[in-house]
Amino acid sequence: MKLNTILLSLATAGMMLTSNVALASGGGHVLKHANVDVTNQEQLLRGLTVFSDVCMGCHSAKYITYKGLMDYPELGISREFADELRGDKPMMSGMITDLSPADASESYGKVPPDLSLIVPGRRGGADYVYSVLTGYAHDHNEKVPDGNYNTYFPGNSIAMPDPLGWLDHDAEDTAELEQQAEDVAAFLAFIGDPHQNERRAIGKYVLGFLLLLTIVLYLLKREVWKDVH
């Protein structure tokens, strides 16, 4: 009886804790789910395009070099495409924004964080990025000091002006907005842990190998013990 009560209160406390954590991570809201597939080359390439066309106006991904991008089979990008992306920057340089930290602080009041590790670094990961990008509520802008109200950013007041805002004027564009937000979240999830696919593939081989080994050892044991009665 006593043990039951203890277990029950522990479980309840655990549930309350986890639901609070989920709420806290989304500025008071449960995050939206993003359909990201880090093995989907088309999605990753679309995400890379959004990242370099839009996000890199302000953010960097300094741990990701152009050479590195070429080396990932998931992306399958050519030398020409990498050259096009990097412009006149060196091949081994990370994806650096042209916006200087000083200019960024002056224009936005905050320095846009480097996005190389944003997905592993934030609770909710890709869902968080997707939720923030689709979470602007312009009709609430007057409620926050910097004039950008975001439902999912902690505190709701975000210094980043709605980067995909030009897309959400009618229903068709909303679908496009969600698509681009999902694609760039997928790209950021990929660069946050570029070897995850490899690891998963190796994991499968290892499991297969262990299974095979178990069978072989079992057969061996039967063979060795067969005459012992």
Q: Are 26 and 128 in contact (CB under 8 A)?
A: yes
Nearer to ligand HEC, 82 or 160 (CB): 160
Site string for ligand HEC, 17-46 (x = CB under 6 A): ------------------------------
Selection from 130, 136, 132 nearest residue 169 by Cα: 136
CB burial of 87-120 (b: ≥16 within 10 Å; e: otherwise) equals: eeeeeeebbebebeeeebeeebeebbebbbebbe
Among 29, 30, 63, 113, binds ligand HEC (CB under 6 A): 113
Nearer to ligand HEC, 91 or 99 (CB): 99
Nearer to ligand HEC, 7 or 23 (CB): 23
User: Is 55 one of the binding residues for ligand HEC (CB under 6 A)?
Assistant: yes
Dmax (CA) for the chain in angstroms is 86
Q: How far is the CB of 14 from ligand HEC (least distance, A)?
A: 26
Distance CA 150, CA 140 (A): 9
Selection from 88, 92, 94 nearest residue 115 by Cα: 94
Site string for ligand HEC, 129-168 (x = CB under 6 A): x--xx------------------------xxxx-xx----
User: Is 59 one of the binding residues for ligand HEC (CB under 6 A)?
Assistant: yes
- Piece of 64-72, 76-84, 127-135, 198-206 that binds ligand HEC (CB under 6 A): 127-135
- Piece of 9-17, 76-84, 126-134, 194-202 that binds ligand HEC (CB under 6 A): 126-134
Q: Are 68 and 48 in contact (CB under 8 A)?
A: no
Q: Please report, for residues 8, 9, 15, 17, 194, the alpha-carbon distance to residue 5 in angstroms, rounded to integers and kept in the order given.
A: 5, 6, 15, 18, 46
- Residues found near ligand HEC in the complex (CB under 6 A): 50, 54-55, 57-59, 108, 110, 112-113, 115, 118, 122, 129, 132-133, 158-161, 163-164, 184
